Amino acid sequence: MNPQALDILAVAAHPDDVEQTCGGTLIKMAETGYRTGVLDLTAGQMGTRGDPALRRQEAEAAAQHMLLSWRGNLELPDARLDNTLAARLTLMSEIRRLRPRVVILPYWEGRHPDHYRAAEIGYEACFLAGIRKMDESSEPHRPFKVLYSSVYANVTPSFVVDISAQFERRMAALLSYESQYGGQGEASDLFPAPEEIRERLAAVARFYGNLIGARYGEPFVVKETLRVDDVVALGVRSF
């Protein structure tokens, strides 16, 4: 897959994170014609089931379902992800190479430390990528917009994307990780069956979809105020 000039890059701590949080949005944007990509920071090395090689294979299968133009993995340490200068510079180099206009990050608070560390590393790497002297051997590039996927955060979203037409494809992408979501295998008592996973994610997506009058939705937060040029064309009815 050609890694040139992405429109949208989602940065995640682990393989299968984006499939749960913003996979429908990535599919919708790819169907619109945008070049989309995912960069996983770790290979899920500390996971109870599967191994890094298998999860990379599953990630590639999921990438096909999500219609990605590119997917990569930095192979940073899983469950020990830390916001170091080395991590920031490594990600900065990828941002300069991929040159995305929009970057999607995990929400900046969460239960798993890797998730909020990924948000920190991602934001700071985006900023550093615009400083020419950080690495004069490559051209600086700073994304125009940073979005935070807030599906697992108890916060009011800045906006919700209607993924009603993309939900089934998103589920197919997630269930490509058979080592994690298959019904059999080690610690099967700790991992919900595929039917349970689908029911849970459908319920969450229905909740956010209901906020915008759609069947399924994915929520996002931005830190800056959004601009509106035409108040007559605003979506979502008040009554």
Find the helix packing angle between 23-32 and 167-174, rounded to 10°: 120
Number of domains in the chain: 1
Asked which of 49-53, 172-176, 180-184 is least confident by mean pLDDT, the reply is: 180-184
Task: Give residue 2's pLDDT.
Answer: 47
Asked, for residue 239, whether it belongs to a domain, the answer is: no
Query: CA 222 to CA 182: how far, in whole Å?
Result: 34
pLDDT reported for residue 191:
63
Tens-place pLDDT, residues 6-29 = 999 999 999 999 999 999 999 999
Residue 1 domain-assigned (yes or no): no
Residue 3 falls inside a structural domain: no
Between 194 and 164, the more confident residue is 164
What's the pLDDT tens digit per position in 50-66? 677 888 899 999 999 99
Tens digit of each residue's pLDDT (9 = 90 or more) over 54-108 = 888 999 999 999 999 999 999 999 889 999 999 999 999 999 999 999 999 999 9
The kind and range of the H/E element at 221 are: strand 217-221
pLDDT of residue 44: 76
Show the domain range for 73: 8-233
For residue 153, give the CATH number of its domain.
3.40.50.10320
Question: Alpha carbon 52 to chain centroid distance?
Answer: 19
Would you say 46 and 13 are in contact if contact means Cβ atoms under 8 Å apart?
A: no
| 54 assigned to some structural domain | yes
**106 Cβ partners below 8 Å, 6+ apart?**
11, 12, 13, 17, 21, 115, 116, 118, 119, 122, 148, 149
Residue 119, in any domain of the structure = yes
